[in-house]
């Protein structure tokens, strides 16, 4: 789990992707890699998600995860398809337990101190803060970090280039998740050049941060 976490920390940005067609997976991965961001979270929000993960599982240069995982069964299916890590919108103990028992990195969503206590009890060191902006954004995350300074966070939800720097300025934030670079409109239109451009712009912004 440490190796995957460090890779996410290195990338600092995690594209959150909902693919309506598995055929879009390869050109999307190409666009992200060309932009300099070889990682992706394919969410299980569409019927094509597992097929998309399968289409990318042999891309050794790509850090590939599955998101919107609601159960241990979904986690098992995603890993069998080729996912290297699991992200869930909330804290589901059964899902977390399956992942830990099978040495699969998992970053469950948290939204409160109670969730964080559960994550700590399970032995986790990194969690997803979701939905970040709806929960109070940077101010709320800073309030959580104060008593839980040993926990690392991947805030996701409502993050764009306009507030990315504010989140990354929090020492406990190892990366931010976002879909603005890989929006459904761009994917459905096959506009991979704009996806590459938006990703490049986001990475340029990160380069100028401490």
In a domain, 209, yes or no: no
Residue 55 is predicted with a pLDDT of: 98
pLDDT tens-digit map of 25-72: 999 999 999 999 999 999 999 999 999 999 999 999 999 999 999 999
Q: What is the DSSP string of the chain?
A: -HHHHHHHHHH-EEEEE--S-GGGHHHHHHHHHHHT--EEEEETTSTTHHHHHHHHTT-TT-EEEEES--SHHHHHHHHHHT-SEEEESS--HHHHHHHHHTT--EEEEE-SHHHHHHHHHTT-SEEEETTTTTTTHHHHHHHHHTTTTT-EEEEBSS--TTTHHHHHTSTTB--EEESGGG-HHHHHHT-HHHHHHHHHHHHHHHHT--
- Number of compact structural domains in the chain: 1
In a domain, 16, yes or no: yes
In a domain, 97, yes or no: yes
Residue 1 is predicted with a pLDDT of: 64
In a domain, 146, yes or no: yes
Task: Place 210 in a pLDDT band, splitting at 50, 70 and 90.
Answer: confident
165: containing domain? 2-198
Give this prediction's pTM: 0.96
In a domain, 210, yes or no: no
Residues annotated catalytic, as ranges: 41, 128
pLDDT tens-digit map of 112-145: 999 999 999 999 999 999 999 999 999 999 999 9
Q: For the domain that residue 36 is a member of, what is the CATH number?
A: 3.20.20.70
- pLDDT tops 90 at residue 178: yes
In a domain, 151, yes or no: yes
Residue 2 is predicted with a pLDDT of: 77
In a domain, 140, yes or no: yes
In a domain, 204, yes or no: no
């Amino acid at each position: 789990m440490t190796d995957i976490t460090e890779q996410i920390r290195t990338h600092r940005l995690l594209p959150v992707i909902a693919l309506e067609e598995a055929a879009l997976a390869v050109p999307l991965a190409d666009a992200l890699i060309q932009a300099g961001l070889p990682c992706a979270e394919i969410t299980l929000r569409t019927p094509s998600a597992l097929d998309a993960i399968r289409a990318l599982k042999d891309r050794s240069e790509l850090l590939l995860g599955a998101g919107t995982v609601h159960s241990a069964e979904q986690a098992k299916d995603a890993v069998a398809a080729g996912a290297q890590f699991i992200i869930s919108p909330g804290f589901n103990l059964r899902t977390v337990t399956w992942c830990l028992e099978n040495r699969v990195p998992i970053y469950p969503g948290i939204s409160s101190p109670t969730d964080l206590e559960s994550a700590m009890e399970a032995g986790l060191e990194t969690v997803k803060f979701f939905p970040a902006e709806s929960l109070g954004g940077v101010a709320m995350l800073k309030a959580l970090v104060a008593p839980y300074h040993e926990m690392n966070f991947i805030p996701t939800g409502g993050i764009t280039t306009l507030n990315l720097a504010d989140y990354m300025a929090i020492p406990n934030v190892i990366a931010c998740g976002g879909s603005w670079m890989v929006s459904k409109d761009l994917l459905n239109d096959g506009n991979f050049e704009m996806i590459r451009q938006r990703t490049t712009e986001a990475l340029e912004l990160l380069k100028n941060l401490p």
